[in-house]
Structure 1
């Protein structure tokens, strides 16, 4: 791997780490991101942090305000509704390929992640819950076999973090996500594409992560 390719990979990884911090509620909509704090938090150079922030601006996860700096994008109610509606289209479109591609080892890994999420919902931190939730959905959408669709799905999910809705708005919402994960597993095991489509749509429209 060339040094240029390594640098690009590092930049993408750092942008992903910052996006994950936003996703897990570490930064809220409208909050300013101080580059010096990010350098310390992520053990990165100023150049790498700036490059990662610029990448997140392109993805609309954050915004750049001239002469002020970078802040987490704020999403109004109408835009959030449009993002959810688009997510339903994108994520349910992946269902046929997901159902066709899932195999026993992947089901076992998804089952393990669902159990990890159940444990995190009972006694884990919000960061634990967000991390395992992300791993569960990343693995499921990776089964689509379409990396472009997968990237667009996660760009939309990350962009929606700029709303004033918390990661899980209540403990009941957290428990509902837990139940949904297990129901999605049952649908996958039964190769029931219609049921999985229904579950994903409900998951999104209720604003569950």
Structure 2
């Protein structure tokens, strides 16, 4: 019997780091879990060099940790740190509202509308992976409207870092429905060029992930 091998293609560190971060987000790697480079190579059909470079990128983002003489593991974020991450996210992401509205075009508005509808369909009949993917795409398009790649990178670095927490995003179907409503409300605010309303919605959207019993709501 002939054994088949997976051909490993070079990948950019950002692309591969994004794939690993998504796997962490979807729970394929748990908080505190050690990451074996050989397993990452096989799972993502990547070269050893690319895996090492991507893991180092995720260390910079603080999505994972590097422990000397031991290796890499998914970062463990306590609730207090997660609260601080959310606070910073609110400041940064709401500050993008003006640029988002200024950068809005009919084409991007149409793209956002399509993604909002796709997310609603995923809530009704899709998998958690579908929901996470479309949700990320919606926000990627929205923040790309800011025209500031440094701001975009900072936003996603903070989001990646928060994934090391044990707090469950979308812990209930109602929380998914709230996200669905938020997307349509943000879309309406962008279309109406209502910066204040968009800022308010972004802040509320970030806060919705906070555990309901957590003091202070963050």
- Secondary structure of the residue that 1:199 maps to in structure 2? helix
Shift of 1:103: 1.3
Distance 1:140 1:109 in 2: 10
Name stretches of at least 5 consecutive residues in structure 2 with no aligned partner.
1-8, 211-218
Give the SS at the match of 1:165.
Answer: coil
User: Which string of whole-angstrom CA distances, capped at 9 and with x for unpartnered residues, describes residues 47-89 of structure 1?
Assistant: 2111111111111000112333211101111110100000000
The CA deviation string for residues 12-50 of structure 1, in whole angstroms up to 9 with x for no partner, is 211111112222332221122221221111001122111
* 1:78 aligned to which of 77, 80, 99: 80
What is the RMSD computed on CA atoms of the aligned residues? 1.6
Which of 167, 178, 181 lines up with 2:180 in the alignment? 178
TM-score by length of 1: 0.92
TM-score by length of 2: 0.88
User: Greater shift after overlay, 56-65 or 27-36?
Assistant: 27-36
Do residues 143 (structure 1) and 145 (structure 2) align?
Answer: yes
Match of residue 47 from structure 1: 49
For residues 141 and 187 of structure 1, what CA distance do their matches in structure 2 show?
Answer: 14
Give 1:199's aligned residue: 201
Alpha-carbon shift at residue 11 of structure 1 (Å): 2.0
Q: What's 1:125 paired with?
A: 127
Deviates more, 1:25-34 or 1:49-58: 25-34
Give the stretch that moved more between structures: 8-17 or 172-181: 8-17
Query: 2:184 matched to 1:152?
Result: no
**Deviation sequence 1:135-156 (CA, Å, 0-9, x none):** 0000000111111111101100
Aligned position for 1:34: 36
Q: Unaligned regions of 5+ residues in structure 1, if any?
A: 1-6
1 or 2, which has the higher helix percentage? 1
Q: What is the aligned partner in structure 2 of residue 60 from structure 1?
A: 62
CA distance in 2, matches of 1:149, 1:28: 28
